[in-house]
Amino acid sequence: MIKNIIFDFGAVLIPIDESLTWSAFQELGAKDKLKDQQKVFQKYEKGEISTSEFLTSIQPFFFRKIYPPQLASAWNALLKPLPGERVNFLKRLKKNHKLFLLSNTNELHINHIKAEAGLFDYKQFISQFDHVYYSHEVGMRKPDAEIFEKVLKDNDLVAEETFYIDDGKKHIKTAKSLGIKTWHFKPEEDDINDLGKVLSKLHS
């Protein structure tokens, strides 16, 4: 019986389009090597560097000087509005499950989501979760097992009673290895509103 549901954020609960960020960077004159700076992106996601340090570190990968607000705007371009119906969707689930949010994210993205949604609506959304785990706040990121283990341990969750939803194959693979039930969510095919049907099949 599934008692706990852990959600990824981007592409699962909030629509994203990563191509929009790369297009915005290209419009600013990004060099091809910017796409190779995964270590910098991951450091930022783990909170190992500040927002100002992050923006300074990617500046050399442009053909001209780009000011931090422009870089930040391009970085956030992938984020689409948080759907208004998400709160009611989560409220319904919350009646019978413990809910958790587990996301590889960063300060710029979260601040942008807060600003776009409005502080009240963002708080309404966040309050539906028993606990929220943002990678830049906990100093860990998926697909490393330690962040999944932290969620399980912090909340005394039994892996076999826990269901995890993510669009990332590597993240799903780690969760499965720990005994967590999973749904590899495909944004172009799946609808999160079908979660009830997915859980029903799991229980049958």
Residues 9 and 24 occupy one common structural domain: no
Number of independent structural domains in the chain: 2
Q: Quick one: average pLDDT of 151-179?
A: 98
33, 53, 78 - which closes a domain? 78
Whole-prediction pTM value? 0.96
Q: What is the pLDDT of residue 53?
A: 98
Find where tokens 């997915």 sit: 198
| CATH classification at residue 162 | 3.40.50.1000
How many residues are given for the chain? 204
> Is pLDDT of 43 > 90?
yes
Sorted by sequence, the CB contacts under 8 Å of residue 116 that are 6+ apart come out as: 79, 81, 82
37, 56, 78 - which closes a domain? 78
Q: Give residue 5's identity as a one-letter amino acid code.
A: I
Sorted by sequence, the CB contacts under 8 Å of residue 109 that are 6+ apart come out as: 75, 76, 79
Mean pLDDT across the chain: 97
| CATH classification at residue 45 | 1.10.150
Residues 44 and 107 occupy one common structural domain: no
Sorted by sequence, the CB contacts under 8 Å of residue 54 that are 6+ apart come out as: 40, 43, 44, 106, 108
78, 111, 129 - which closes a domain? 78
Residues 126 and 65 occupy one common structural domain: no
Q: Can you read off the two tokens belonging to residue 80? A: 């689409």
Segment 88-136, tens digit of pLDDT: 999 999 999 999 999 999 999 999 999 999 999 999 999 999 999 999 9
Residues 49 and 27 occupy one common structural domain: yes
Residues 124 and 163 occupy one common structural domain: yes
Residues 101 and 167 occupy one common structural domain: yes
Query: Smallest Cα–Cα separation from 191: which of 23, 21, 15?
Result: 15
Q: What is the pLDDT of residue 81?
A: 96
Q: Give residue 145's identity as a one-letter amino acid code.
A: A
Segment 168-181, tens digit of pLDDT: 999 999 999 999 99
Residue-range definition of the domain harbouring residue 71: 18-78
- Cα 108 to Cα 171: distance, rounded to the nearest angstrom: 22
